[in-house]
């Protein structure tokens, strides 16, 4: 997770989230491309900015943006996306990152200069500064150019660990759209910080291994979703909003939850979100058939156990296929077990390659690795369980797994 490539993927994913999931959703494609390129070159340590970002050198305090989140880069991006003149990132007491108009009160390590920023964290509510008089700086001689701002607390679970301040120099800057955008961006930052904190606490136990495997969500889905949404930004805003809603729902499911289990019904809802986005990308080439016993929708299954198989079937089986693709999800009870199958009529997998899919690291090219899901199933239910894949060239692939019939969580779950 510390290589430049993986850092790039992580930061690029964060950027795409920030661009996509705030209500206005009106960032032009050209700006998206520009911000994406800027983020890449910043990671390469090439100075392409017109002003310097101030970075915190001490990420040890809880709630402060650590180096893996590249706070200076993030405040740059937050400022550009929100169209603010400055952005400040704080922990519970001090400034940890700042971008924008120079102000001595916002130097790294300084105590938070605004009383209302502290109040935002104490009350857990957004504070809106609608005029210059609302800037209750602790220094009475402050001559900063800001005339409006939005102060939003950052949360990790139920705990408030910091804040983001978005500042404008023009009158009337704190419009309704601006406030909503700032709050949405702060929610995304909070979500990423919470996810990072959970990963940091993982230990080398069976339960921790399950959590780590669950966290390996393929970032390619985000890039593909961006491409699909971009096609509708100008020609159909209503479709754009629906796609953003679907993507947001998917992200809440995959990143916002700390559970390792879900129900069949909930997993299928996420599959529907995913398929609607992919249909926006590939049109009517994709057809889904579900054969699911309604009585099985409350059965507990490992989270992200069906969706990755659907993703792999579409991207690696149906998309390369000429003509229309058919995807079938079948879930049925066989004695005291539940059998879940994802079948496609795609291009299939070569026999010699099929034998290697269960090897650690080999399946990483197939979206969420086959080894990942196979290992999770074995850890949860025992070595006799796991993923079983059959395939024939030019005919399609069948990915199947079984789990014990239960409304409770995994057999080996503690």
335 versus 137: the higher-pLDDT residue is 335
d(CA 50, CA 340): 54
Q: Give the model's pLDDT for residue 254.
A: 66
Task: Return the CATH architecture of domain 4-200.
Answer: 2-Layer Sandwich (3.30)
Q: CA separation (Å) from 364 to 56, 97, 275, 361, 377?
A: 34, 35, 21, 6, 17
d(CA 381, CA 377): 6
Same fold yes or no, 4-200 and 206-404: no
Mean pLDDT across 320-345 = 93
Measure the CA–CA gap between 291 and 307, rounded to whole angstroms: 16
pLDDT band at residue 401 using 50, 70 and 90 as cut-offs? very high
> By the 8 A CB rule, do 377 and 403 touch?
yes
Burial 189-220 (b: 16+ CB within 10 A, else e): bbbbbbbbbbeeeeeeeeeeebbebbeebbee
pLDDT tens digits for 218-247?
555 666 666 677 777 677 878 888 887 887
Give the length of the chain.
Answer: 414
**3-state DSSP call for residue 4?**
helix
Higher pLDDT, 11 or 259: 259
Higher local confidence (pLDDT), 313 or 414: 313
What is the dihedral sign for C-alpha 156, 160, 162, 167?
positive
What are the extents of the domains in the chain?
A: 4-200, 206-404
Query: Would you say the pTM of this structure is higher than 0.95?
Result: no
CATH match for 206-404 among 3.40.50.720, 3.40.190.10, 3.40.50.10190, 3.30.565.10: 3.30.565.10
CA distance 198 to 210: 13
Query: Percent of the chain, pLDDT > 70?
Result: 68
Q: How far is CA 32 from the centre of its chain?
A: 17
CB atoms within 10 A of CB 237: 12
The answer on pLDDT for 366 being more than 60 is no
36 or 362, greater pLDDT: 362
Q: Is the per-residue pLDDT at 186 higher than 80?
A: yes
- Answer yes or no: is pLDDT of 26 > 50: no
């Amino acid at each position: 997770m510390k290589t430049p490539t993986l850092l790039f993927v992580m930061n690029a994913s964060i950027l795409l989230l920030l661009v996509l999931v705030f209500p206005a959703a009106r960032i032009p494609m050209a700006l998206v491309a520009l911000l994406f390129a800027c983020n890449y070159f910043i990671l390469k340590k090439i100075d392409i900015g017109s002003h310097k970002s101030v970075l915190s050198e001490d990420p040890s305090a809880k709630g402060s943006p650590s180096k893996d989140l590249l706070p200076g880069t993030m405040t740059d991006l937050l400022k550009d996306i929100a169209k603010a003149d400055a952005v400040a990132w704080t922990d519970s007491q001090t400034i940890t990152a700042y971008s924008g108009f120079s102000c001595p009160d916002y130097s790294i390590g300084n105590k938070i200069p605004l009383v209302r920023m502290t109040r935002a964290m104490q009350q857990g509510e957004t504070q809106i500064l609608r005029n210059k008089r609302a800037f209750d700086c602790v220094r009475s001689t402050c001559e900063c150019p800001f005339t409006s701002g939005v102060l939003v607390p950052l949360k990790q679970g139920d705990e408030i660990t910091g804040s983001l301040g978005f500042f404008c120099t023009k009158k009337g800057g704190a419009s309704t759209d601006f406030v909503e955008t700032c709050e949405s961006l702060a929610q995304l930052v909070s979500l990423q910080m919470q996810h990072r904190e959970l990963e940091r606490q993982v230990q080398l136990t069976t339960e921790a291994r399950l959590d780590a495997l669950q966290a390996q969500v393929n970032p390619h889905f985000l890039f593909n979703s961006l491409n699909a949404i971009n096609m509708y930004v100008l020609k159909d805003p209503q479709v754009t909003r629906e796609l953003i809603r679907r993507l947001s729902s998917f992200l809440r499911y995959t990143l916002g939850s700390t559970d390792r289990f879900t129900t069949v019904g909930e997993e299928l809802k996420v599959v529907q979100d995913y398929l609607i986005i992919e249909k926006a990308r590939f049109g009517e080439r994709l057809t889904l058939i579900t054969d699911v016993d309604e009585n099985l929708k409350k059965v507990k299954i490992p989270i992200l156990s069906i969706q990755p198989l659907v993703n792999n079937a579409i991207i690696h089986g149906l998309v390369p296929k000429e003509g229309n693709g058919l995807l079938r999800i079948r879930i049925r009870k066989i004695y005291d077990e539940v059998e879940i199958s994802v079948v496609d009529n795609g291009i299939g997998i070569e026999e010699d390659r099929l034998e290697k899919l269960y090897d650690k690291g080999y399946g990483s090219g197939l979206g969420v690795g086959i080894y990942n899901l196979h290992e999770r199933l074995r850890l949860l239910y025992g070595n006799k369980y796991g993923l079983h894949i059959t395939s024939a060239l030019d005919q399609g692939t069948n990915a199947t797994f079984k789990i014990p019939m239960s409304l409770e969580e995994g057999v080996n779950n503690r």
